[in-house]
């Protein structure tokens, strides 16, 4: 049994981009700053957590898949605060409808199990989107629906909504880096000129971490972003300048994927 003030925290998605950084932060707060945290992580692949040089002295690692209700219960029992940092939107866009059904079912499990276990708070990182549902991409719609499902639980739910998150290991950033470092000339779809408000991974982690120590964030939705509104076109140009490379970007209006 922990002490009276111990916060029992569950991190899901600990093998992912956001979850792995968050685990590092929580472990540092626990070991260096002596925050009274008990950190639990649910994963489908224990080795992926161990490969991050994290060990069972610092984190209680639970094997489980959130698409399985009993695994959700197993992870959430005794938890005060649960981070929902999971998604499985992958493959080509034609698979996204199927993935979004899976996402909904997984969030439903989690939401119901959190209620059954009396979890006090859920903190979810979703996507930044505006407009009617029918105007959203399948991906953004899924992020929004997951948030709505989690809000149906009896827990106090905090939602952070971010656009592209920049940092080593992040899907969007690695794609941008890969393209700029390899290609002198790029033919891009027109959406590279869409505006977005990127945010640095460490800033996202700071929001996620501070939320547990800031009661006023309970039950609220926050849109988070860095100081600059940029396009992917801008970001590619900026990155090319940083690595001292000259690139030419040609935009083809009919190219959309």
Ligand X SMILES: NC(=O)c1ccc[n+]([C@@H]2O[C@H](COP(=O)([O-])OP(=O)(O)OC[C@H]3O[C@@H](n4cnc5c(N)ncnc54)[C@H](OP(=O)(O)O)[C@@H]3O)[C@@H](O)[C@H]2O)c1
Quote the least distance from Cβ 214 to ligand X, whole Å. Answer: 20
Concatenated DSSP letters of 170-187: -HHHHHHHHHHHH-SEEE
Contact flags string 152-171 toward ligand X, x per CB under 6 A: ----------x-xx----xx
**At 135, is the secondary structure helix, strand, or coil?**
helix
Phi then psi for 56, rounded to 5 degrees? -75, 0
Residue choice 8, 87, 112, 121 for contact with ligand X (CB under 6 A) = 87
- Residue 136: name the closest of 170, 100, 109 by CA: 100
Tokens of 180: 């700029």
Quote the least distance from Cβ 17 to ligand X, whole Å. Answer: 4
Nearer to ligand X (CB atom), residue 88 or residue 145? 88
176 makes contact with ligand X (CB under 6 A): no
Spatial neighbors of 255 by CB under 8 A, at least 6 apart, are: 187, 188, 189, 190
Residue choice 52, 67, 116, 197 for contact with ligand X (CB under 6 A) = 67
Residue choice 172, 179, 192, 203 for contact with ligand X (CB under 6 A) = 172
Concatenated DSSP letters of 44-95: S-HHHHHTTT--TTTEEEEE--TTSHHHHHHHHTT-SEEEE------S-GGG
Quote the least distance from Cβ 146 to ligand X, whole Å. Answer: 7
Quote the least distance from Cβ 48 to ligand X, whole Å. Answer: 5
Residue choice 23, 41, 66, 180 for contact with ligand X (CB under 6 A) = 66
List of residues contacting ligand X (CB under 6 A) = 12-13, 15-19, 43-45, 48, 65-67, 85-88, 106, 125-127, 143, 162, 164-165, 170-172
């Amino acid at each position: 049994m922990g002490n009276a003030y111990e916060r029992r925290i569950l991190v899901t998605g600990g093998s992912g981009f956001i979850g792995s950084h968050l685990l590092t932060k929580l472990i540092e707060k626990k070991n260096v700053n002596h925050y009274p945290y008990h950190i639990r992580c649910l994963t489908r692949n224990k080795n992926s957590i161990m490969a991050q040089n994290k060990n069972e002295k610092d984190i209680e690692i639970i094997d489980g898949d959130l698409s399985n209700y009993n695994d959700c219960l197993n992870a959430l029992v005794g938890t005060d605060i649960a981070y929902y940092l999971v998604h499985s939107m992958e493959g080509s866009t034609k698979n996204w409808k199927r993935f979004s059904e899976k996402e909904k079912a997984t969030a439903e499990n989690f939401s119901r199990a959190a209620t059954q276990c009396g979890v006090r708070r859920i903190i979810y990182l979703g996507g930044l989107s505006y407009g009617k549902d029918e105007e959203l991409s399948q991906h953004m719609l899924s992020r929004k629906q997951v948030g709505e499902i989690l809000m149906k639980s009896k827990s106090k739910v905090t939602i952070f909504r971010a656009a592209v998150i920049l940092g080593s290991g992040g899907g969007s950033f690695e794609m941008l880096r890969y393209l700029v470092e390899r290609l002198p000339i790029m033919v891009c779809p027109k959406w590279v000129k869409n505006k977005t408000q990127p945010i640095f991974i460490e800033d996202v982690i700071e929001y996620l971490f501070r939320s547990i120590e800031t009661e006023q964030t309970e039950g609220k939705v926050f849109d988070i972003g860095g100081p600059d509104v940029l396009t992917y076109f801008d970001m590619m140009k900026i990155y090319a300048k940083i690595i001292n490379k000259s690139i030419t970007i040609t935009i083809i209006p009919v190219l959309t994927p």
